[in-house]
C-alpha cells in the first residue's frame, strides 16, 4: 500500500468519532404538554424494548475481523481487525497479511502507527475533532456490533411513529435511530452543522450466519466504507494488541495525521 492508499482511514476515523456519541444537551426544564408526555412515554417504551434485546455487555472483550471495501476517490479492499474491551479499541488494517496501520484508541487519546511511512502519531482525541464533545471508543464498538451504545441511554429521545425513528439532541448535533417494524435498529444518522454521517445495518438473513450485521458507513465527501464481518469472538481470550513505537519512527502530533 502506498501512502495515498491509506487515506481511507482519515474519513473512517472521523466518522467513528462522530458516531460514537457524546454528552446530552443541557437545558432548562420546562413543563411538558400531555402530548409531549405521551411522546416521551412512547420513546421510553421503545428504548426499554431495544435495550432488553440489544444491551451492550460491558466488560466483555470482543475480537473482530472484517473484510472492508472503501469507496472514495478510489476503491480499495483491505482487512480490518478490531479488539475492544470497555473504552479501549485496538485496530489493525492491512492487505494480504501486511499491516499498514495500527491504532490504539483510548477514552481520551489516540496512538497511530503508519508502518509505510515509519511514522507515529500521538495526541488527544479532541485534536481530530475540535468541534465535537468527548466520545467513547466503547460506543463505537457497540454501534459496529448492533448494540445500543450505553452513553446514548442518557439522551432525551422522542419517538416518531410515522417515520419510525427515535430522535435525540446532543451538544453539537442531533442523532436519529431508524427502526424496523420489529423494532430492530436498521440505521443511525448523525447530523451536524457541516454535514452528516450515516451507519446502516444489513441484518443477517439467516440464523446460520454470523449474528452480527454487515455495516455500511456513509461518511462526508461521499465516502463509503462497507464492513463485512468474517470472524466475531465474544469473551475473547485475546483482549489487546501489542503497541510499541519501533526505533527510528518519526513521532508527530495526532493533529498532523493525514496532512
Flag whether pLDDT at 132 surpasses 50: no
For cell 507515529, name the residue: 120
Give the model's pLDDT for residue 22.
44
Return the higher-pLDDT residue of 88 and 6: 88
Give the model's pLDDT for residue 20.
55
Q: What is the DSSP-derived secondary structure letter of residue 23?
A: P
CATH code, 76: 2.50.20.10
Q: What is the pLDDT of residues 66-110, one digit of tens each?
A: 999 998 878 889 999 999 987 899 999 998 888 999 999 988 889
Q: What is the pLDDT of residues 147-164, one digit of tens each?
A: 888 888 888 899 998 999
- Using a cut of 0.95, tell me whether the model's pTM lies above it: no
Which residues span the domain enclosing 236?
3-256
Q: With CA atoms as reference, report the closest residue to 224 among 11, 81, 65, 1.
A: 11
Q: With CA atoms as reference, report the closest residue to 10 among 88, 147, 106, 121.
A: 121
Give the model's pLDDT for residue 131.
38
Give the model's pLDDT for residue 10.
55
Q: What nine digits make up the cell of 180?
A: 424496523
Q: How many domains does the chain have?
A: 1
Q: What is the pLDDT of residues 176-214, one digit of tens each?
A: 999 988 888 999 998 877 778 899 998 755 544 557 889
**Mean pLDDT, range 111-132, rounded to an integer:** 81
Give the model's pLDDT for residue 14.
54
Amino acid at each position: 500500500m502506498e501512502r495515498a492508499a491509506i487515506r481511507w482511514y482519515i474519513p473512517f476515523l472521523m466518522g467513528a468519532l462522530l458516531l460514537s456519541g457524546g454528552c446530552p444537551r443541557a437545558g432548562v426544564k420546562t413543563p411538558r404538554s400531555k402530548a409531549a408526555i405521551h411522546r416521551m412515554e412512547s420513546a421510553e417504551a421503545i428504548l426499554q424494548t431495544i435495550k432488553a434485546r440489544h444491551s451492550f455487555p460491558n466488560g466483555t472483550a470482543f475480537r473482530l475481523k472484517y473484510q472492508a471495501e472503501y469507496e472514495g476517490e478510489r476503491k480499495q479492499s483491505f482487512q480490518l481487525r478490531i479488539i475492544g474491551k470497555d473504552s479501549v479499541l485496538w485496530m489493525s488494517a492491512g492487505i494480504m497479511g501486511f499491516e499498514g496501520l495500527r491504532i490504539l484508541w483510548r477514552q481520551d487519546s489516540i496512538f497511530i502507527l503508519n508502518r509505510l511511512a515509519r511514522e507515529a502519531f500521538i495526541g488527544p482525541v479532541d485534536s481530530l475533532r475540535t468541534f465535537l464533545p468527548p466520545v467513547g471508543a466503547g460506543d463505537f464498538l457497540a454501534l459496529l456490533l448492533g448494540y445500543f451504545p450505553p452513553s446514548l441511554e442518557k439522551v432525551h429521545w422522542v419517538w416518531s411513529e410515522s417515520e419510525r425513528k427515535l430522535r435525540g439532541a446532543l451538544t453539537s448535533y442531533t442523532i436519529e435511530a431508524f427502526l424496523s417494524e420489529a423494532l430492530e435498529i436498521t440505521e443511525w444518522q448523525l447530523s451536524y452543522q457541516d454535514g452528516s454521517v450515516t451507519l446502516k445495518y444489513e441484518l443477517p438473513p439467516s440464523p446460520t450466519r454470523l449474528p452480527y450485521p454487515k455495516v455500511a458507513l456513509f461518511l462526508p465527501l461521499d465516502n463509503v466504507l462497507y464492513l463485512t464481518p468474517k470472524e466475531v469472538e465474544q469473551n475473547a481470550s485475546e483482549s489487546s494488541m501489542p503497541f510499541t513505537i519501533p526505533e527510528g519512527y518519526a513521532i508527530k502530533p495526532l493533529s498532523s495525521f493525514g496532512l
